[in-house]
Amino acid sequence: MSRNRTENPKIASERIEVLEKDEIFVFGSNLAGQHGGGAARVANTKFGAEWGIGVGLTGQTYAIPTMQGGVKTIRPYVDKFIEFAKKHPENKFLVTRIGCGIAGFKDEEIAPLFCNALEISNIYLPKKFYDIIGNLA
């Protein structure tokens, strides 16, 4: 079992430094793919996120843009990510607290975007997101 995740509930570790072969680091990015700080920088320097690509899969990472506007502009990218994860059950997607660092959103604003991720067996959410979504149900 990976130290990056728990199975029940499906929680991603808050500190991910090494990935298992089947794990994907999911992070908040900007549309330009300039991964200069926060989890984006970790994704770029440690896990193969490509500079200049701000959306989707590169290396062992998946970028979700969070810097282009309000929460409504993030939702389509989260929905696209969830659909992508459904199509790739061979991978475990470790979601960071996207948008809750440099982008400046609160966990309570972003977590509800991941409500549909709870039913997906290969998506692991940050504990804060999981707790917020659980309280909404």
What is the pLDDT, as a whole number, of residue 112? Answer: 97
| Domains of the chain: residue spans and CATH | 26-136 (3.40.220.10)
* Closest CA relative to residue 94, chosen from 131, 63, 59, 123: 123
What is the pLDDT, as a whole number, of residue 32? Answer: 96
**Residue 67 and residue 47: Cα distance in Å, rounded?**
21
Tell me the sheet residues that pair with 93. Answer: 24, 123
* Closest CA relative to residue 102, chosen from 8, 39, 18, 16: 39
Output the tens digit of pLDDT for each of the chain's 137 residues.
Answer: 688 999 888 999 999 999 999 999 999 999 999 999 999 999 999 999 999 999 999 999 999 999 999 999 999 999 999 999 999 999 999 999 999 999 999 999 999 999 999 999 999 999 999 999 987 75
State the pTM of this model: 0.96
What is the pLDDT, as a whole number, of residue 1? Answer: 61
**Residue 118 and residue 106: Cα distance in Å, rounded?**
19
Question: Three-state SS for 51?
Answer: coil
What is the pLDDT, as a whole number, of residue 13? Answer: 94
